[in-house]
Structure 1
Amino acid sequence: MNRALPSAGTTETRPLWRTALATATAGACLALYGAAPQAAVADTLQATVQAESMAKSGGCTSTDSTRAVYYCNNDSTSTSYAFPQAGRYSITVAGASSQNNTAGISVYVGSAKVAALTFTGTSYTRQSAVFDIASAGSQEIRLKLETDNGQNDTYVDYFELAYQGPTPAAPPPPSRRTRAPTPAAPTATCSRRWTRPSPTRPSPPSSPPTGTPSSPAPTTPNASTTRPAPTATARWRTSRTPATATCAPKA
């Protein structure tokens, strides 16, 4: 149903309960779903440097009106840039290979190597890396070939430098894991089994008197103790004297 518009010069009033309901609904939605996501802040472009305008070094580096060409290892181009503030920066290099394979270029800021970028194929692509600057001031930016293997050359058109923001805080070191205590060894329990005592070994005899004992003199058999061969008419008799033995004829 169409609603009639208020006449000119008049003000339409809304009941208070409707306003309160709308406010409460908006608050509930905000609490439930959170605020609307904000768009990410883009990097702030600081400079665009054409590779052919940079200073050349190395034995084979060449430039033309649109690019720099790096033929062999240690070919490089460099320029100086005054960083306005400390923080995190990104560098984006537009490059290509002279063949349908992968060519590379290294990026140095000051004396630090901050990236090793690669470009596959003859079409230009953009490759990026990030690095941190500790303080504002001028530093050298150098593009250097270090991966030449004789299969291609590296082409670079330009590079872009952008500021990303303050250097993020370093993450806290990982917490050390607490080693579980070593369980105590089980305690030996006593049994009620009786064991037979070991026999007592007799003590060794007392040591003999010192000195070398004399060997007994050999004895010579006594002829009087030699028994004759028995006969049929005689029998043996042994006297009570333990030293001799006699044989008497049978009576």
Structure 2
Amino acid sequence: MPGGRLTQQERQQIAVGLADGLAYAEIARRLDRPTSTITREVMRNGGPTGYRADLAHHATQRRTRRRTQTAARGTRAAQQPYGRDAEAVQEFQETLTTVIMTSGLPKMTARVLSCLYTADTSLTASELAEQLQVSPASISKAVTLLAGLDLIRRESDGRRDRYVVDNDLWYQSMIRSIRDNDRFSEAARQGVAVLGRGTPAATRLENAARFLDFVSESLNRAVEQARDVLYTKPETPPAAEREPAPDRG
């Protein structure tokens, strides 16, 4: 499997594959690349309908230059605790942003959620704006949406609001999915009465409703049983892996 960044020729092949309606996995197989690499490349550069190979290549070159300049200034490296590699953290945040975007969240909202998810502490709006290099207005809009979806929690330190990823993020996400399933099942059963039980269309709806009822019941039982996992504290790491204590002289 080839390593390194995608070449301009590979990006052109991605564009051709998208135009032919190929799935990301098939494009990845033809390029001998991980599917995640293709997904991240496409979502970062306009999505499946807006991807352009030349524009994607130039955008990547600009990002690379910007990271090099930032690393030279040492600003990001100074912000990373526990001896983390600043560039590796940034790359992971971009990967996580791409994954979050595939769930339907806008790019800026996904960036904010990714930033909070990889932060060790809660962050203020100004800290988010500084880390993501965007306007406070963009942060305000994103955190409002995320808070409305119960994906983050707003706290106050007495002077200003701080934001943190709620431990219940995945629990709430599963509950919303169950509710969506239940609403579709209810609508499907109404359709059965309208279309006439036993007809092909009504049978399709009835089977879908039965399937979703079974999935929702199983999923609801599973998330309630597993909810405590979200609050499990990790074991204390070995002394060698802990952040060094400050030198108090």
Say whether the fold is shared (TM-score over 0.5): no
TM-score, normalising length from structure 1?
Answer: 0.16
Query: TM-score under structure 2 normalisation?
Result: 0.16
Give the structure with the higher percent strand. 1
Larger radius of gyration: 1
Instruction: Decide which structure has greater helix share.
Output: 2
